[in-house]
Structure 1
Amino acid sequence: MYSRSETSRIRKSFWIAFGQYMRPVPNAQGGRVNWQNYKTGVKDIYFRLRAERGYATVGIEVTHKDEELQQLFFEQLMQLRKILEQCTGEVWDWQLHQANEFGQLISKVEKRMDGVDVMNENDWPAIISFLKPRIIALDEFWDLVKPGFEDF
């Protein structure tokens, strides 16, 4: 069992390592980007990277407080599903109106990798290898579709 401070230190070390690994990778526009804290530029739409005990995920979260608007954003994403699948080369999981770890209602599109543990440094290469191509593909996808979300 890890202490709270040790857990925090290990997680922070992982994200620093991930950031250093991703630093030289340009975004779809050829610019610099903070991959682990990606800014979509659209309120209430976030790209989330998670590395936890037992799994890692990468995805898009729609967090609008108004359930109907959240659903509208989600449905708009669903209409672009084929483009996402072309960019990522895989099928992702789609979840409308799910409670997150804070009890807030969100909708998300994500890909998950089970069987890895961020607390185990030996798993870091596998986690990074999982996250890297998918966040790059999400950036490519977002570069193509973002204009359709900017008017909300």
Structure 2
Amino acid sequence: MYSKDQATQLKQAFWTVFGQYMGPVLSAEGLRTNWINYKTGVKHIFFRMQADNKRANISIDITHPDKELQQLFFEQFATYKTMLHSTLGEEWDWQLHTTDEHGKTVSRIYTGILPVSIFQKEDWPKLISFFKPRIIALDEFWNDVKVAFEV
């Protein structure tokens, strides 16, 4: 088991390595992108990559505090479901009004892998191979549909 400081350092080290690996990759618009903290440009819509000692997930999180507006965003994504899955090359799971790790109600479109551990350096290539094509595909998808979500 790792101390809290060791766990934090290993996580930071992984995300630094991932950021360096993704650094040369340009966005769908041909721009430099902070892939780790991807900015959708739309309030309450986030692309998140998470990893812990058991699994890794990548998701579209809709965090609007108004559940009805959150559901409208979710339904809007659903109209692009075929396009999203086609761009990703796989189907993702869809959850309307679930609870995040902070106890807040969110809606989430996601996929994940297990068993992998961010704390095992030998798993890092697996994690990078999991995250890289999916965040690039999300960017490509978002480049095509973002205008429909801008208020």
Fold match (TM-score > 0.5): yes
Structure number having the greater strand percentage: 1
Give the Cα–Cα distance (whole angstroms) in 1 for the partners of residues 48 and 5 of structure 2: 23
Give the Cα–Cα distance (whole angstroms) in 1 for the partners of residues 108 and 33 of structure 2: 22
TM-score by length of 1: 0.98
In the TM superposition, 1:122-137 aligns within 5 A as 122-137=122-137
For the residue of structure 2 that corresponds to 1:26, the secondary structure is coil
Q: What residue identity is the alignment partner of 1:76? A: Q
Identity %: 50
Q: Which residue of 2 aligns with 1:45?
A: 45
Q: What residue identity is the alignment partner of 2:31? A: G
Q: Which residue of 2 aligns with 1:64?
A: 64
Instruction: State the shift of 1:53 in Å.
Output: 1.0
TM-score by length of 2: 0.99
Q: Which residue of 1 aligns with 2:27?
A: 27
Give the Cα–Cα distance (whole angstroms) in 2 for the partners of residues 64 and 54 of structure 1: 28
Give the Cα–Cα distance (whole angstroms) in 2 for the partners of residues 51 and 4 of structure 1: 15
Q: Deviations over 1:63-94 (max 9, x none)?
A: 00000000000000011001101110000000
Q: Which residue of 2 aligns with 1:107?
A: 107
Instruction: State the shift of 1:16 in Å.
Output: 0.1
Q: Which runs of 5+ in 1 are unaligned?
A: none
For the residue of structure 1 that corresponds to 2:2, the secondary structure is coil
For the residue of structure 2 that corresponds to 1:69, the secondary structure is helix
What is the number of residues matched between the two proteins? 151
Q: Which runs of 5+ in 2 are unaligned?
A: none
Give the Cα–Cα distance (whole angstroms) in 1 for the partners of residues 3 and 85 of structure 2: 40
Q: Which residue of 2 aligns with 1:141?
A: 141
How well do the aligned residues superpose, as a CA RMSD in angstroms? 0.5
